[in-house]
Amino acid sequence: MSIDIYFGRKIVDSVLEKGVEDTIVRLQERVYELIIFDNGVLRSYNISRSSGVGVRVFINGSTGYGYTSSLDWDSISTAARRAVKSAKSLSRHGVSKKMLSYEGSKCVYSAPIKLNPMDVDSERKVSLIKELNLASIKKEGIVSAVTRYGYEMDRKIIVTSYGSEVDIDVRAVGISHTAIAKSGDIMERVHEQKTFIGGFEHIDSFDWFKFTEEIDGLALKASQAKTPPPGIYTAVIDNTLIGLLLHEAFGHAAEGDIVASGASVLRGKIDESIASTKVTIVDDGLAEGGYPVPYDEEGVEKNKTVVVNEGVLKRFLNSRYTAIELNQDLTGNARAQDTNFDTIVRQTNLYMLPGESRVDELFEGISIGFYLLGKGAMGGQVDPSVGTFTFSVGPSYIVRNGEPSELVRGTVVSGNILETLREVDLVAKDLKITTSVFGGCGKGGQMVRVGTGGPHIRVKRIVVGGI
Amino acid sequence: MDLHRIVERGLKKAEMLGGSEAEIFIVRELSTSILGTRKGLENIECGESTTVSIRLAIGKRTTLQTSVLSGEEHIDRIVEDAIKVARVAPEDRDWVSLPKSLGKTPVYDIVDDRVREPDLEMFIELIKRGLEGSREIDRRVYTSEAKLSLSHFVRVIGNTNYSPIESEKTMFSYVVMIKAAENGEETGYHNYYIAPTLNEFRLDKVVEDAVRIALASLKAKPIETGKYQVLLTPRVFSSILSSLIVPAVRADMVIKNRSPLKNKLYSEVLSEKLTIIDDGAAPNMPSSSEFDDEGIATSRKTLIDRGVLVSYLYDTYTANIDGRASTGNARRTSSMVYPDATNVIVLPGAQSLDSLTRDVRRGVIVYGTIGEWLSNPVSGYLNATVTNGVYIENGEERHAIKGIVVSGNIYEVLGRELVTVTKEYENVGSMMVPSAFVERISVAGK
């Protein structure tokens, strides 16, 4: 059985007959294809298909959520019945929540695709990944390489009692490559991925051998590099790294549920200056290069939300629940991994808007500093309640007399995100946003695809350390 | 959906499309979760999902595919995908066959009717008590989150060599996050309980323990870098065992040269104070079941006997390579089957925790750590950041500690440096372990 708006509307109508005040019905079909070559050997080739229905009801100030992976009417009725029973149980215990009302709208969104990857011969896909992987491990100095191909079709239908009828079909395809290079006793690992929204035409038209060669080359160079001299420096941060830092250290603190629970450093700071006037940060459902989220999973349109405008905090990211709690507007940020989960507040494509400087201008006047890069970054730890972050960044360059000079490995940056954003003195005009078919954000045990990025920026002072 | 019928249908389809062997494993899970936060009861989520995993061979070309099942006929599509992938898979020279026969071990206390058919009112009350109970113990603490989950699983497995078998199991889990605040400083500790039944669940103890440790973590100070005596509480000890010892006794890791315990069978690898058992059929333990994830009856086996390594953990594939029988330890993920521990039981010692604490001259009790996953099971190198711990001098607790990292070679820490294990033990997830008293561990502090 396939899913469509008509089926969703039928479920909404039947749920409304159970005496609920409002309901959101979500249907989903997903196909995920993953091929992994590990040191020349096919380690995994998986095609995973899933589908499901989720029903959220609101009764007397309480919500209940029911779901099923079966698409037959009996299973769906049972899921709805469970949702109603759950909400009524909470209501009897005096739970009294409010949900912001909204005017529903209709939308069909389908990301353009020319060649469906599932129609492409398996052997062709396997041989491309194998060749890329073998070419890597044959290089002198590369001791291990893992190359992956991923394709995802994610179709979501959201029908609500507020009149929203949303049908979204997004296909994403990409290749990732991890190279481990060894020089003496030093091993250095560099991982990078490239994802396109669309079909296999993107695999056919991109130079993947050049892509993996660059990763191998960076791993080799990094394995011969030194670790950086620790200290406080002026740094130029590239598009990838600023995206990661903003998502983890700032974006989560701007999520309405974290703010409402009192665990965000941004709580109570609306209309306050929290960053340099050069900084404007938005969460945009349809950013070029990012992951398309035209509507959220409460059926609310996801527009471009201005979170920070010229340094001033303007708005949090909200669901219908947190919008009421925080006395703000809806922003369309209620998202879920799949129908097995009810929604929580999530970012979509959160990034800094570009400025007016040329990238080379950012380096001018730096006698000694850093050019910090995101490619090969290993991630980090953040505490949104105080805004602290520690990030292991990718192989980066020391800047001497206005020019990137020698490469360094094992670079760690740390600080407080608000202090760091106040130190931004130049923002370049080169906006770049990327997404990934291999990962995303894992808040609350739910993986959702996001986009991250921004322009090159310059930060006057940042703590740089080495490991 | 009739799970047996789906297994039979899938196996027939696989044979018809040219599969020489096939195995179909279906799990239907019905689950309910209730969440409460500082603001009160938040939400109830309830639903069911059916997952199917198919392992298929065409000669020595094998594949494993996992999908969520939307209806009976969906199995045909999943089998077709598996056939398509197996045809392009390289030959696996080590592949012999799927299990030739399937079986069950009787296991007690793995199904609880209160979990299978939950009375929501009763469980809502448990959440409310978890939210309110901490404040009643001490005004400096509050519960920031309490969440419980109830699951009922039905598992059916069959292969082209043997008829399908079925088992059921329930699972109950309760997680509580306690925050303690004093003079502008805030600490936290999360405690949890997980078991197939409610038989041994004591909510008050779960909350009290979390409150005690959250309070003990206030006013934390760093300590000097150096070597210290260390008491690893059951939660920390179990986490170290799962990060470093369990991977090392997995036969697949041994075969791939990724275990420091390769070629160490029947040698002394840990202290004689340690006897470690893997028991897939222990009553009321989370990883107990009648059969493993490829249909082999579960069993109890000693892995380390008074410090001597006596067995690795096998599934059918690795057992075939080593010319042994499976130990009933197959675990299945979405893309592979491999041998893994079920429930790990460390036999307790003779001394009490109190008497050992009194013996500490200069040391720390470690209640909570993060980052054990950065430890390296291939080299046996332990590395963990202490989140909750207390510094002890001459048997007396001095102050809470923060920002320290413990590290060392696990085979030394649990070898010649292990003084003893306590007579008290706790169930921590799928482990039943005492506390471990270690004479010297490197501590990186200020």
Between vectors from CA A51 to CA A200 and to CA B82, what angle results, nearest 5°? 60
Q: Can you tell me the distance from the alpha carbon of A34 to that of B117, in angstroms, rounded to the nearest whole number? A: 37
Q: Are residues B198 and B228 in the same domain?
A: no
Q: Are residues A119 and A207 in the same domain?
A: yes
Q: Are residues B210 and B67 in the same domain?
A: yes
Are the beta carbons of A261 and B77 separated by less than 8 Å?
no
Look at residues A223, A246, A277 and tell me which one is the last residue of a structural domain: A223
Whether the per-residue pLDDT at A162 is higher than 90: the answer is yes
The answer, for B74 touching chain A at a CB cutoff of 8 Å, is yes
Q: Are residues A202 and A252 in the same domain?
A: no
SS3 of residue A193 by DSSP: strand
Which range marks the domain in which residue A353 is found? 231-466
Q: Are residues B152 and B75 in the same domain?
A: yes
A340: which chain B residues are within 8 Å (Cβ-Cβ)?
47, 49
The predicted structure's pLDDT at residue B446: 66
The predicted structure's pLDDT at residue B322: 96
A54: which chain B residues are within 8 Å (Cβ-Cβ)?
47
B335: which chain A residues are within 8 Å (Cβ-Cβ)?
34, 44, 46
Are the beta carbons of A48 and B65 separated by less than 8 Å?
yes
Count of C-beta atoms within a 10 Å radius of residue A400: 13
Look at residues B172, B187, B214 and tell me which one is the last residue of a structural domain: B214
Contacts with B, A 173-212, CB within 8 Å: none
Residue B395, Ramachandran bin (φ over 0: left; ψ between -120 and 50: alpha; else beta): left
The predicted structure's pLDDT at residue A410: 83
Whether the per-residue pLDDT at A467 is higher than 60: the answer is no
Are the beta carbons of B49 and A87 separated by less than 8 Å?
no
The answer, for A467 touching chain B at a CB cutoff of 8 Å, is no
Q: Are residues B205 and B315 in the same domain?
A: no
Q: Measured between CB atoms, which of A48, A65, A71 is closest to B66? A: A48
- Looking at per-residue confidence, does B275 or A443 come out higher? B275
Whether the per-residue pLDDT at A435 is higher than 80: the answer is yes
Are the beta carbons of B85 and A41 separated by less than 8 Å?
no
Are the beta carbons of A65 and B47 separated by less than 8 Å?
yes
- Looking at per-residue confidence, does A377 or A5 come out higher? A5
Q: Can you tell me the distance from the alpha carbon of B261 to that of A401, in angstroms, rounded to the nearest whole number? A: 53
In the predicted model, what is the mean pLDDT of residues A24-45? 94
Look at residues A157, A189, A223 and tell me which one is the last residue of a structural domain: A223
Q: Are residues A37 and A162 in the same domain?
A: yes
Which range marks the domain in which residue B314 is found? 220-446
Are the beta carbons of B41 and A70 separated by less than 8 Å?
no
Q: Are residues A298 and A167 in the same domain?
A: no
Q: Are residues A420 and A319 in the same domain?
A: yes
Number of domains present in the structure of chain A: 2
Q: Are strands A312-313 and A451-454 parallel, antiparallel or unpaired?
A: unpaired
- Average pLDDT of chain A to the nearest whole number: 94
Beta bridge partners of A353: none
Q: Measured between CB atoms, which of B32, B44, B51 is closest to A90? A: B44
Q: Are residues B88 and B140 in the same domain?
A: yes
Q: What is the pLDDT of residues A216-241, one digit of tens each?
A: 999 999 999 998 888 899 999 999 99
Look at residues B199, B214, B229 and tell me which one is the last residue of a structural domain: B214
Residue A211 Cα distances to A416, B215, B412, angstroms: 34, 52, 44
In the predicted model, what is the mean pLDDT of residues A335-359? 97
Whether the per-residue pLDDT at A341 is higher than 90: the answer is yes
Count of C-beta atoms within a 10 Å radius of residue A229: 12
The answer, for A379 touching chain B at a CB cutoff of 8 Å, is no
Q: Are residues B206 and B252 in the same domain?
A: no
The predicted structure's pLDDT at residue B373: 63
The answer, for A340 touching chain B at a CB cutoff of 8 Å, is yes
The answer, for B50 touching chain A at a CB cutoff of 8 Å, is yes
Are the beta carbons of B89 and A42 separated by less than 8 Å?
yes
Look at residues B155, B190, B214 and tell me which one is the last residue of a structural domain: B214
* pLDDT tens-place values along chain B, 446 residues long: 899 999 999 999 999 999 999 999 999 999 999 999 988 999 999 999 999 999 999 999 999 999 999 999 999 999 999 999 999 999 999 999 999 999 999 999 999 999 999 999 999 999 999 999 999 999 999 999 999 999 999 999 999 999 999 999 999 999 999 989 898 888 888 899 999 999 999 999 999 999 999 999 899 888 888 899 999 999 999 999 999 999 999 999 999 888 999 999 999 999 999 999 999 999 999 999 999 999 999 999 999 999 999 999 999 999 999 999 999 999 999 888 999 999 999 999 999 999 999 989 999 999 988 766 667 787 888 878 788 899 999 999 999 997 678 888 999 999 999 999 999 999 999 999 999 999 999 887 66
Closest CA to B344 of B366, B311, B372: B311
> Looking at residue A72, which CATH number applies to its domain?
3.30.2290.10
Helical H segments across B185-279, by residue range: 203-216, 234-240, 246-249, 251-255
In the predicted model, what is the mean pLDDT of residues A354-382? 92
Q: Measured between CB atoms, which of B32, B47, B67 is closest to A50? A: B67
Q: Are residues A104 and A147 in the same domain?
A: yes
Residue among B28, B37, B43 with most chain A CBs within 10 A, to mutate: B43
> Looking at residue B157, which CATH number applies to its domain?
3.30.2290.10
Q: Can you tell me the distance from the alpha carbon of B30 to that of B393, in angstroms, rounded to the nearest whole number? A: 50
Q: Are residues B231 and B308 in the same domain?
A: yes
Q: What is the pLDDT of residues A412-423, one digit of tens each?
A: 888 889 999 999
Looking at residue B153, its amino acid is: F
The predicted structure's pLDDT at residue A227: 87
B89: which chain A residues are within 8 Å (Cβ-Cβ)?
42, 45
Cα nearest neighbour of B41 on chain A: A95
The answer, for B46 touching chain A at a CB cutoff of 8 Å, is yes
Q: Are residues B428 and B443 in the same domain?
A: yes
Tell me the pLDDT band of A145, cut-offs 50, 70 and 90. Answer: very high
Q: Are residues A195 and A218 in the same domain?
A: yes
Q: Are residues B380 and B403 in the same domain?
A: yes
Determine whether B117 is exposed, middle or buried from the number of CB atoms within 10 Å of its CB (0-12, 13-18, 19+). Answer: exposed
Q: Are residues A153 and A253 in the same domain?
A: no
A24: which chain B residues are within 8 Å (Cβ-Cβ)?
none
Cα nearest neighbour of A98 on chain B: B42
Tokens for A387, please give them: 């805004």
Q: Are residues B204 and B255 in the same domain?
A: no
The predicted structure's pLDDT at residue B183: 87
The predicted structure's pLDDT at residue B256: 85
The predicted structure's pLDDT at residue A466: 61
Q: How many CB pairs under 8 A join A and B?
A: 128
B64: which chain A residues are within 8 Å (Cβ-Cβ)?
46
| Whether A108 contacts A167, CB under 8 Å | yes
Q: Are residues A36 and A134 in the same domain?
A: yes
Q: Are residues A208 and A131 in the same domain?
A: yes
Tokens for B304, please give them: 């380390």
Long-range contacts at A365-368 (CB < 8 A, ≥ 24 apart): A365/A402, A366/A234, A366/A236, A366/A399, A366/A401, A366/A402, A367/A400, A367/A401, A367/A402, A368/A233, A368/A398, A368/A399, A368/A400
Q: Are residues A315 and A398 in the same domain?
A: yes
Q: Are residues B226 and B209 in the same domain?
A: no
Look at residues A223, A250, A282 and tell me which one is the last residue of a structural domain: A223
Q: What sign does the dihedral B261-B262-B265-B268 (CA atoms) show?
A: negative
Cα nearest neighbour of B77 on chain A: A49
Tell me the pLDDT band of A186, cut-offs 50, 70 and 90. Answer: confident
| Whether B346 contacts B421, CB under 8 Å | yes
Q: Are residues A189 and A207 in the same domain?
A: yes
Between vectors from CA B258 to CA B252 and to CA B261, what angle results, nearest 5°? 85
Number of domains present in the structure of chain B: 2
ipTM for the whole complex: 0.88
A67: which chain B residues are within 8 Å (Cβ-Cβ)?
45-49
The reported pTM is 0.91
Whether the per-residue pLDDT at A404 is higher than 90: the answer is yes
The predicted structure's pLDDT at residue B374: 61
